Amino acid sequence: MFASVIIPTDIRENVIAVPSQAVLEKDNSTVIYTAEEGKAVTNIVETGLDVGDKLEITSGISQGDQIIVKGQDYVSDGTTIKVVGVE
């Protein structure tokens, strides 16, 4: 026996995708912390497509922003940070 199966997928191009662990839920908002001038900055974001290890961000950050992906659970807006690696 043979079967033909069609699995619909959603493909999006030219979007901002971040590691899922960088996205946090705080005070009923979805946030990402970015690094600006040695300080953590809270960015309220809206999310889109979730593919497991990556999450699409539809608004709230811009291409080129440095997002915090390690230790983000321990910072808040204005916390002094030290950037130790940039990808």
| pTM of the predicted protein model | 0.81
Q: For the structural domain made of 16-74, what CATH number should be given?
A: 2.40.420.20
Q: Where do the domains of the chain lie? A: 16-74
Q: Which pLDDT score, from 0 to 100, does residue 1 have?
A: 84
21: closest CA among 79, 68, 58, 64?
68
CB atoms under 10 Å from CB of 19, counted, come to 13
Q: Walk across the sheet containing 24-26 and list its strands.
A: 24-26, 29-36, 39-44
Spatial neighbors of 82 by CB under 8 A, at least 6 apart, are 38
Tens-binned pLDDT, residue by residue, of the chain (87 aa): 889 888 777 777 889 999 999 999 998 999 999 999 999 999 999 999 988 899 999 999 999 999 999 999 999 999 999 888 766
**What pLDDT is stored for residue 86 in this prediction?**
67
